Amino acid sequence: MTLKNGQTTSLSWLEEDDLPEIAEAINCIVREEKYLLMDKEITDLEFERMWFLEGKETGMRYLVAKVNGKVVGGASLTPFTGKRAHVAEFGIYILKNYRALGLGTILLKEFIEVAKKNRFEVIQLSVFSTNKVAMHVYRKCNFKRCGKLTHDIKFTDGTYTDRIMMELLITQ
């Protein structure tokens, strides 16, 4: 797949060998402090390996995006269980230098297809109200706003932001 700057990206399912590199990519986003609920860097690779193995068991789908063999982003769909087994939660991150090149949209569209193939009926996510780019991408792919947690997030500088809940009802 070609990005807006002409570079080629490949998407592949997460493999155990990718874990150190995706940990470093996620840590870059954590250090930005603006986008993710997660606020601690991944330092324990054995813990990450356990997370990967558990995800495999419980049906998590995780795509890694690479440019020139280097991880530049990732996205996942994590199913709930029991009465919510028809619902999956979406998460995504792209390294700073690879944003605004169309990759987020490519990954999200890919996951909507993955959700259809796996017969999920609803994709849910949450996004900070300050994250205009992410909300634009979600809306463009037909996600609808379905709730708001006011002042849910307090940044380290003491400012607050709301967390917006969004959903996509899948029609086959």
Ligand X SMILES: CC(C)(COP(=O)(O)OP(=O)(O)OC[C@H]1O[C@@H](n2cnc3c(N)ncnc32)[C@H](O)[C@@H]1OP(=O)(O)O)[C@@H](O)C(=O)NCCC(=O)NCCS
- Contact residues for ligand X (CB under 6 A)? 29, 35, 92-94, 99-105, 127, 131-134, 136-137, 140
Select the residue whose beta carbon is closest to ligand X and give its number.
104
CB of residue 3 to ligand X, shortest distance in Å: 8
CB of residue 48 to ligand X, shortest distance in Å: 19
Nearer to ligand X, 34 or 49 (CB): 34
User: Are 3 and 101 a contacting pair, CB within 8 Å?
Assistant: yes
User: Are 103 and 93 a contacting pair, CB within 8 Å?
Assistant: no
Nearer to ligand X, 83 or 137 (CB): 137
CB of residue 20 to ligand X, shortest distance in Å: 20
Q: How many CB atoms lie within 10 A of CB 24?
A: 13
Cα Rg, the chain, nearest whole Å: 16
Nearer to ligand X, 29 or 120 (CB): 29
The rounded distance, in Å, linking the Cα atoms of 26 and 130 is 19
**What are the helix (H) ranges across 73-149?**
103-117, 132-140
The rounded distance, in Å, linking the Cα atoms of 70 and 58 is 27
CB of residue 111 to ligand X, shortest distance in Å: 12
